């Protein structure tokens, strides 16, 4: 059994007056095994954000199923959804979404506080995590005192402190300079090596080249996928770029490995 | 291209688009203008405005005008801050500062026209109502007809015209100083966490304590009036300082308490309040001071008015009254018999009949004060006062209906008492029969005038408090919307969001009310002394009036809370 199974996922947005809907996702199926690092690539409008919102249980699909650890997410009741999301999923957003009013420590604590954990328990989890993320020195700073990279690492800390089954990242490097992007992606790689499952939506080739597998999404369907295998990052970068070129120029290549 | 109409149209459009912010601003401007017109109108109404009432209304007009200026400047500052982004955008689209100045000019012109025009219209419509109210309060016949005194209109137009001119000039000054990039950044810039200001906290604590100390220890009623203003200033300073520095200190202490702080409900509320306490505190302090002003003004004037009958009784006695100095306790029965006979003959019903004999220590026969302490005793056979007093006197008096001519009644009583005096068995040194309706009426009008002005200004202050609360809530709503969205993303349920908002708003909302109630209680000893200046020493009545005012005010406040909390939640939920 895979950690995350997505089967025949459909999402149709209908206008308020009914009429013809827009198919954001036509028929998406894929699976993510525990310990994988998957990137999903696609242009704007390809359905990336819709897919991520459904995986995050922020939106409901029009058809198909999403199973996490074998549990159908559609079967989770509305009022249990918040807790389900808190316990199983960690989020990293493009623009960090840190709360200005909280210190780094409190931003990271936020999901645990909401889950009703005690201070001692939270603190025990905090130290190893912040050390791994390289923000151990910044715990008492406020977001306005941090650089973009530090903010995003704080956001990763917040996502991981609940020990989620999957870390969902939405364009995590979108607001970072190349140096900060690189350091964040290395952190993702090292987290993945320690067993953290990561699903990242991006349109940065660099970001995707760090992943173990890249899925390409076009017009609401999985168009292609690439496994990194034994390839170096540079080779992977070239391969992804090539696929994107083919994809945007309209080719119908189906090169499964 | 038709350039001529561009700025007027753009100004009209931006007023409409910012309706949520501008509507309360315009509404409060309109109401203030209407209130200024009405208080001027009443002051110029020849039928009622005589002597003390006229002076009171003139004072009221001054307070309304000055307070309107402060209120409009405050809300305008708030609006300009919110609109910085819009102006920044115009700037980037190629609008120069002089163009923006033109836009602001047109906006100012529209606002002034609407507020002054609407205010005059509303004021004229309400003027008869206020006249009826004032006449009812000072128990006067309502003058016939409907008039619109040109002078009142003129003063209102000039007054509010100047207020809006000052506002416009201030906006120009603000515009001139600001840099385009700052215009664009607007309110979004992240704010530094406030530091605990020990000195400010100390100053606040000391001046607050001094203010309370002055209030509690003042002895002499005449000095109380002067000290009152010093105490008010001290408490205002103390309130601002303590709200600013004290709240931060308390919140930081709460944050240090990890068991308390790391709970879902407290976590967001404490940090959120701490984060924006710098601006929050001034707003809260202002609301608190305004609430105190409403409470003190209305409760004192209400007490004066409610105690007026007793007060006037103790100052002027009954409406018709007879003093007989000398003789013995048997005089009481005899004079009472004269009263009963005369009243019966004339078909007049006597109310509040008072008849007693008493000793007094007043060699000057000061008939106005000797009987005053005993008016509430009614008819009593007991001989009152200290028997060692030099003077013995008999008092009989009663009140009569409004339509009875007290002058004629007095003449009849006088001649009947004269008849009694010609009876050789009636022992006396000197008698005096008096009717006191004219004096009483003047006093009544000034007490009624006080109450009216108290209500009038109280409602003005209340409106200001409502306006500030409203603006505070919606601006914080916009600031908090993003935070609550993030919290929902990291695992906060809708119901928790609602609970958090509730606890946050509740504490912010009811803190000023609590402190205002505390201030009112603190001012109590001093206001009590000032009331004594007017001759009123009924503490129970004052306590009752203060409590009633507080309860009604709290209800109104709660209603505002419900309204703005709903608006806040709607903004945050989006």
Q: Digits of tens for pLDDT over chain B (574 positions)? A: 456 678 888 888 888 888 878 888 999 999 999 999 999 998 887 666 666 778 888 888 998 999 999 999 988 988 888 777 777 777 777 778 888 888 889 999 999 999 999 999 999 999 988 888 888 887 777 777 788 888 999 999 999 999 999 999 999 888 877 666 665 654 444 556 677 788 888 999 999 999 999 888 887 777 777 888 888 899 999 999 988 888 888 888 988 998 889 887 788 888 878 877 766 788 888 889 999 999 998 999 899 888 887 777 777 778 888 888 888 888 888 888 888 888 888 888 888 888 888 888 765 556 666 777 777 777 888 888 788 877 888 888 888 887 788 888 888 888 888 888 888 888 888 888 887 676 777 777 778 888 888 888 899 888 888 888 888 888 788 877 888 888 877 777 777 777 777 777 777 778 889 999 999 999 888 888 888 877 777 888 899 999 999 999 999 888 888 888 888 888 887 6
Helix (H) or strand (E) holding A38: strand A37-41
With 0-12 CB in 10 A as exposed, 13-18 as middle and 19+ as buried, what is B10?
middle
CB contact under 8 A, A116 and B264: yes
Q: DSSP class of residue A102?
A: S
> Exposed (0-12), middle (13-18) or buried (19+): which is B551, by Cβ within 10 Å?
exposed
pLDDT at B1: 43
Closest C-alpha to B304, from B536, B460, B512: B536
CB contact (8 A) between residue A110 and residue B487: yes
Mean pLDDT score, A158-165: 91
Which helix (DSSP H) or strand (DSSP E) does residue A197 occupy? Answer: strand A197-202
Per-residue pLDDT reduced to its tens digit, A82-133? 888 888 888 898 888 888 888 899 999 988 888 888 888 899 999 889 988 8
B312-439: CATH topology: Alpha-Beta Plaits (3.30.70)
Nearest-by-Cβ selection for B491 from A97, A102, A114: A114
Among B491, B495, B497, B500, pick the best mutation site for testing chain A contact (most A Cβ within 10 A). B491
| Rounded alpha-carbon distances, angstroms, from residue A225 to A109, A243, B375, B433 | 36, 9, 102, 114
| Chain B environment of A116 (Cβ under 8 Å) | 263-264
- The DSSP 8-state label assigned to residue B374 in this structure reads G
B3's CB contacts (< 8 A; 6+ apart) are none
- B-chain CB neighbours of A109 within 8 Å are 262, 267
Distant-in-sequence, close-in-space partners of B415: CB < 8 Å, separation ≥ 6: none
Measured CA to CA, the distance from residue B63 to residue B399 in angstroms comes to 38
Look at A162 and B491 and tell me if their CB atoms are within 8 Å.
Answer: yes
Say how many C-beta atoms besides its own lie within 10 A of residue B310's C-beta: 16
Domain assignments of chain B as residue spans, ordered by start: 1-184, 312-439
H/E stretch holding B222? helix B221-241
Residue with tokens 């209109």: B153
Chain A interface includes B491 (CB < 8 A): yes
Count the Cβ atoms, other than its own, within 10 Å of residue B104.
23
d(CA B129, CA A117): 61
d(CA B549, CA B555): 10
If you compute the radius of gyration of chain A from its CA atoms, what whole number of angstroms results?
A: 19
Q: Which conformational region is residue A70 in: left (phi greater than 0), alpha (psi within -120 to 50 degrees), or beta?
A: left
With a CB-CB cutoff of 8 Å, which residues 14-73 of chain A face chain B? 58
**Which of B19-41 are b and which e, b meaning 16 or more Cβ less than 10 Å from the residue's Cβ?**
eebbebbbebbbbbbbbbbbbbb
Chain B touched by A158 (CB under 8 Å)? yes
What pLDDT is stored for residue B532 in this prediction? 80
- How far is residue B256's CA from residue B244's CA, in Å, rounded to a whole number? 19
Closest Cβ opposite residue A110 in set B263, B275, B490: B490
Cβ atoms B505, B473 nearer than 8 A: yes
Whether B490 and A158 lie within 8 Å, measured CB to CB = yes
The structure tokens listed for A142 are 């406020």
Q: Do residues B124 and B148 lie in contact, with contact meaning Cβ atoms separated by under 8 Å?
A: yes
DSSP state of A171: S
User: Cα A54 to chain center, whole Å?
Assistant: 12
- Prediction ipTM score: 0.75
Residue A216's DSSP bridge partners are: A41, A224
The rounded distance, in Å, linking the Cα atoms of B301 and B453 is: 8
Contact B464, B71 (CB under 8 A): yes
Report how far residue B237's alpha carbon sits from residue B224's, in angstroms, rounded to the nearest whole number.
19
- Short-list B532, B449, B493, CA closest to B222: B532
Which letter does DSSP use for residue A103 in this model? Answer: -
Q: How far is B498 from chain A (nearest CA, A)?
A: 14
Per-residue CA distances from B498 to B416, B503, B560, B570 (Å): 79, 9, 18, 11
**Token pair of B443, please?**
């006093």
Task: Answer whether A56's CB lies under 8 Å from A91's CB.
Answer: yes
Strands A166-170 and A71-72: unpaired
Residue A195 contacts residue A172 (beta carbons within 8 Å): no
B484: nearest CA in chain A? A99
The two three-digit tokens of residue B451, written as one number: 């109450």
Q: What residue in A sits closest to B194 (Cα-Cα)?
A: A101
Structure tokens at B128: 């008869």
Does B439 reach chain A within 8 Å, measured CB to CB? Answer: no
Listing DSSP states for B119-175 in one string gives HHHHHHHHHHHHHHHHHHHTT-PPPPS----HHHHHHHHHHHHHHHHHHHHHHHHHH
Provide the pLDDT for residue B187: 47
Contacts of B488 in chain A (CB under 8 A): 82
Q: What gap in Å lies between CA B424 and CA A57, rounded to an integer?
A: 109
Give dist(CA B90, CA B275) in Å, integer. 31
List Cβ neighbours of B50 (8 Å cut-off, separation of 6 or more).
Answer: B445
- Indicate yes or no: CB of A101 within 8 angstroms of CB of B483: yes
User: d(Cα B132, Cα B540) in Å, to the nearest integer?
Assistant: 30
What CA–CA distance (Å, rounded) separates A84 from A73? 9
Closest among A219, A177, A184, A178 to A200, alpha carbons compared: A184
d(CA B28, CA B32): 6
Helices vs. strands in chain A: H and E counts, helices first: 8, 10
């Amino acid at each position: 059994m895979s950690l995350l199974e997505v089967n025949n996922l459909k999402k149709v947005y209908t206008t308020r007056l009914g009429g013809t809907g827009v198919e954001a996702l036509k028929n998406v199926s894929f699976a993510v095994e525990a310990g994988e690092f998957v990137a999903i690539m696609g242009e704007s409008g390809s359905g990336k954000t819709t897919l991520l919102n459904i995986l995050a249980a922020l939106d409901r699909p029009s058809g198909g199923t999403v199973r996490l650890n074998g549990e159908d997410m559609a079967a989770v009741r509305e009022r249990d959804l918040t807790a389900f999301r808190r316990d199983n999923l960690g989020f990293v957003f493009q623009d960090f979404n840190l709360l200005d009013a909280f210190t780094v420590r409190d931003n990271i604590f936020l999901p645990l506080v909401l889950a009703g954990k005690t201070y001692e328990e939270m603190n025990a989890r905090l130290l190893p995590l912040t050390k791994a993320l390289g923000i151990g020195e910044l715990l008492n700073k406020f977001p306005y005192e941090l650089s973009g990279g530090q903010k995003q690492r704080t956001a990763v800390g917040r996502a991981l402190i609940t020990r989620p089954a999957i870390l969902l990242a939405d364009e995590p490097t979108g607001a970072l300079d190349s140096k900060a992007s690189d350091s964040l992606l290395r952190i993702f790689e090292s987290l993945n090596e320690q067993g953290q499952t990561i699903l990242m939506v991006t349109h940065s080739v660099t970001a995707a080249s760090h992943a173990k597998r890249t899925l390409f999404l076009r017009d609401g369907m999985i168009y292609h996928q690439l496994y990194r295998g034994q390839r170096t990052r540079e080779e992977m970068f070239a391969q992804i770029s090539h696929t994107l070129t083919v994809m945007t120029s309209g080719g119908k290549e189906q090169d499964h490995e | 291209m038709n350039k001529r109409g561009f700025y007027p149209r753009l100004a009209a459009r931006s007023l409409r688009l910012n309706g949520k912010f501008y509507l309360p601003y315009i509404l409060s401007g309109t109401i203030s203008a209407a209130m200024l017109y009405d208080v001027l109108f009443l002051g110029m109404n020849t039928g009622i405005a005589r002597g003390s009432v006229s002076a009171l209304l003139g004072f009221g007009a001054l307070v309304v005008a000055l307070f309107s200026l402060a209120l409009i400047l405050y809300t305008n500052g708030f609006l300009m801050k919110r609109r910085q982004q819009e102006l920044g955008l115009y700037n980037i689209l190629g609008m120069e500062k002089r163009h923006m100045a033109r836009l602001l000019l047109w906006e100012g012109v529209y606002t002034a026209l609407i507020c002054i025009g609407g205010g005059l219209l509303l004021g004229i419509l309400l003027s008869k109502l206020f006249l009826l109210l004032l006449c009812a309060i000072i128990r006067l016949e309502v003058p016939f007809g409907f008039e619109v005194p040109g002078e009142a209109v003129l003063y209102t137009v000039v007054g509010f015209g100047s207020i809006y001119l000052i506002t416009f000039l201030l906006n120009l000054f603000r515009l001139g100083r600001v840099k385009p990039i700052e215009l664009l950044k607007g309110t979004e810039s992240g704010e530094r966490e406030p530091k605990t200001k020990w000195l400010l906290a100390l100053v606040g604590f000391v001046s607050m304590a001094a203010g309370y100390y002055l209030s509690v220890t003042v002895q002499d009623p005449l000095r109380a009036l002067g000290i009152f203003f010093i105490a008010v200033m001290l408490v205002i300073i103390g309130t601002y300082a303590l709200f600013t520095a004290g709240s931060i200190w308390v919140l930081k202490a709460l944050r240090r308490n990890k068991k308390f702080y790391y709970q879902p409900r407290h976590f967001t509320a404490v940090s959120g309040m701490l984060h924006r306490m710098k601006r929050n505190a001034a707003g809260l302090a202002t609301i608190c001071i305004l609430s105190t002003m409403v409470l003190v003004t209305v409760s004192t004037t209400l007490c004066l008015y409610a105690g007026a009958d007793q007060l006037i009784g103790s100052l002027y006695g009954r409406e018709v009254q007879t003093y007989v100095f000398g003789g013995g306790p048997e005089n009481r029965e005899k004079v009472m018999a004269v009263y009963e006979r005369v009243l019966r003959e004339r078909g007049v019903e006597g109310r509040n009949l008072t008849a007693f004999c008493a000793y007094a220590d007043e060699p000057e026969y000061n008939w106005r004060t000797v009987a005053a302490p005993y008016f509430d005793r009614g008819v009593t056979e007991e001989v009152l006062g200290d028997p060692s007093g030099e003077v013995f006197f008999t008092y009989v008096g009663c009140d009569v209906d409004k339509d009875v001519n007290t002058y004629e009644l007095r003449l009849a009583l006088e001649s009947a008492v004269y008849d009694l005096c010609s009876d050789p068995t009636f022992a006396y040194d000197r008698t005096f029969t008096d009717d006191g309706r004219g004096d009483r009426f003047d006093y009544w009008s000034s007490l009624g005038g006080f109450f009216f002005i108290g209500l009038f200004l109280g409602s003005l202050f209340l409106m200001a408090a409502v306006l500030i609360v409203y603006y505070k809530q919606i601006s914080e709503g916009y600031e908090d919307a993003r935070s609550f969205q993030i919290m929902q993303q990291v695992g906060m349920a809708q119901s928790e969001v609602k609970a958090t908002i509730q606890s946050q708003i509740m504490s912010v909302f009811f803190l000023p009310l609590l402190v205002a109630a505390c201030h009112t209680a603190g001012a109590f000893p001093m206001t009590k002394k000032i009331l004594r200046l007017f001759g009123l020493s009924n503490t129970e009545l004052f306590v009752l009036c203060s409590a009633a005012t507080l309860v009604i005010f709290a209800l109104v406040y709660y209603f505002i809370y419900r309204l703005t909390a709903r608006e806040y939640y709607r903004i945050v939920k989006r």
